[in-house]
Amino acid sequence: MPRRRRPRTETAHQLLVAACAAHLRDLKRVHRAPPPDLAIPSVAIPARLHGPDPASYCSSPAAMCAELAQ
């Protein structure tokens, strides 16, 4: 009975795939935040969003959004 051949580990292709994956992880980590010399514009965010009037007749979220937009 012939013996099973041992599986190949760390072939050139597998090493290349691992190196590319590591490089991609590094790129994602570096580019996660903007460069330090880039001025980030501040955006005004409303302190509070008011809901619909208490006398509102809408019951669906879409109708409430439409009513708030008016």
DSSP one-letter code for 11: -
For the segment 16-22, the average pLDDT, to the nearest whole number, is: 93
- pLDDT tier at 21 (50, 70, 90 boundaries)? very high
Of the chain, the end-to-end C-alpha distance in Å amounts to: 82
Instruction: Give the alpha-carbon dihedral of 18, 20, 23, 25, to 10 degrees.
Output: -70
- pLDDT on residue 33: 80
Query: Counting every residue, how long is the chain?
Result: 70
Q: Which of 29-38, 49-58, 60-69 has the highest mean pLDDT?
A: 29-38
What is the overall mean pLDDT for the chain? 76
Numbers of helices and strands, H then E, in the chain: 2, 0
pTM of the model: 0.40
